Amino acid sequence: MPAATRGYDAGKKINGRKRHIVVDTIGLLLVVMVSAAAVQDRDGGRGILKALHGALGSVRHVFADGGYRGQLVAVAKSAWGIVVEVVRKPPDQRGFAVLPRRWVVERTFSWLMRHRRLARDYERLPATHEAIVKWAMVAIMLNRLAPPPGPKPWSSTRK
């Protein structure tokens, strides 16, 4: 069964699984879905938006990157009443630039990647992988509420 939930995405050169997440405006996880890497983003978008509507029916506006464009925008509006706004990069842009709203999800992915268990795909089942993502997010939120004691690596000891 684990082999059936894995795949290869030639565009991103990823072998294994993809994580589709929806976060709020400050980057906290709302919904996660793990799929085979061969699943297109727009196809994974249907599943994640359906899960979002089931978990939090009050969400009405979602920002997404270019991989989620196409029929997904119309389906989300008609089926679940969710407006999907695709954030596109300017046509004259060359190289990397921070785009409004898209960096929030990328920042959340970087927070999650600090957890060693998520750096590689060790899990046999997608449901287990989703649980590990949620577990890592709980640890991130707990550290925000009550930071661990001791010196912080970013604080200066000199005065």
pLDDT at 119: 82
Count of domains observed in the chain: 1
* Residue 53 pLDDT: 95
Q: Note whether residue 159 is domain-resident.
A: no
Q: Which of 8-17, 21-30, 90-99 has the highest mean pLDDT?
A: 21-30
- CATH code of the domain covering residue 114: 3.30.420.10
Question: Could you tell me how many residues make up the chain?
Answer: 159
Give the 3-state DSSP-derived string for the chain, with helices as H, strands as E and coil as C: CHHHHCEEECCCCEEEEEEEEEECCCCCEEEEEEEECCCCHHHHHHHHHHHHHHHCCCCCEEEECHHHCCHHHHHHHHHHCCEEEECCCCCCCCCCCCCCCHHHHHHHHHHHHCCHHHHCCCCCCHHHHHHHHHHHHHHHHHHHHCCCCCCCCCCCCCC
Domain interval for residue 45: 2-88+97-143
Of 39-53, 58-72, 84-98, 126-140, least confident by mean pLDDT is 84-98
CA–CA–CA angle 71, 99, 68 (5° rounding): 15
Residue 148 in any domain: the answer is: no
| pLDDT value of residue 151 | 79
Span 28-81, pLDDT tens digits: 999 999 988 888 888 889 999 999 999 999 999 999 888 888 899 999 999 999
